[in-house]
Amino acid sequence: MSDCVFCKIIEGIIPSSKVYENDDIVVFKDINPVAPIHVLVVPKVHIESLEALNEQNIDIVRKIHLAILQTTKLLGINEEGYRVITNCGKNGGQTVPHLHYHIIGGTKFSEKII
Ligand code: 5GP
Ligand code: ZN
């Protein structure tokens, strides 16, 4: 996807602060953090959102979750805890149409939506 900002980060066209990478996933710091730790877990394949997952591409979710576990260990938040969020579509507040999961942590969140 030539006009996708996360594809451009994956291709190295837009710089990012990477914290973890493997063959399928890249994790980099969010440019506009909302918590002391705020990173984005992004599959290298362009999938628009959670709604674009299907039987053919669902294995990426397994890889995303394994990458989350690697990342929370690397960042030292695995024991204290954290939140994982994916915004989906217009009403979900998704602004970048390339599937991604936010990991936020480094503090205790007082406010709860759910
Ligand atoms: P969404 O709103 O789609 O759930 O999340 C998109 C996230 O991507 C936002 O938190 C936003 O700050 C982040 N973001 C947008 N453009 C860039 C960028 O060029 N670099 C980085 N590192 N993060 C970005
Ligand atoms: Zn993309």
d(CA 101, CA 39): 8
User: How much is the pTM?
Assistant: 0.97
Query: Which numbered ligand comes closest to the C-alpha of 43?
Result: 2
Q: Where are the alpha helices (DSSP H) in the chain?
A: 5-11, 59-74, 89-92
Domain ranges within the chain, ordered by starting residue: 5-105
Q: What is the pLDDT of residues 39-68, one digit of tens each?
A: 999 999 999 999 999 999 999 999 999 999
- Is 96 a pocket residue for ligand 1 (Cβ < 6 Å)? yes
Q: Give the residue, by CA position, lying nearest to ligand 1 atom 20.
A: 31
In the numeric block, which tokens belong to residue 85? 């969020």
- Ligand lying nearest the CA atom of residue 103: 1
CATH class of 5-105: alpha beta
Q: Which residues are catalytic?
A: 100
Largest CA distance in the chain: 39
Query: Mean pLDDT for each consecutive 10-residue tract of the chain (114 residues)?
Result: 91 98 98 98 98 98 98 98 98 98 96 79
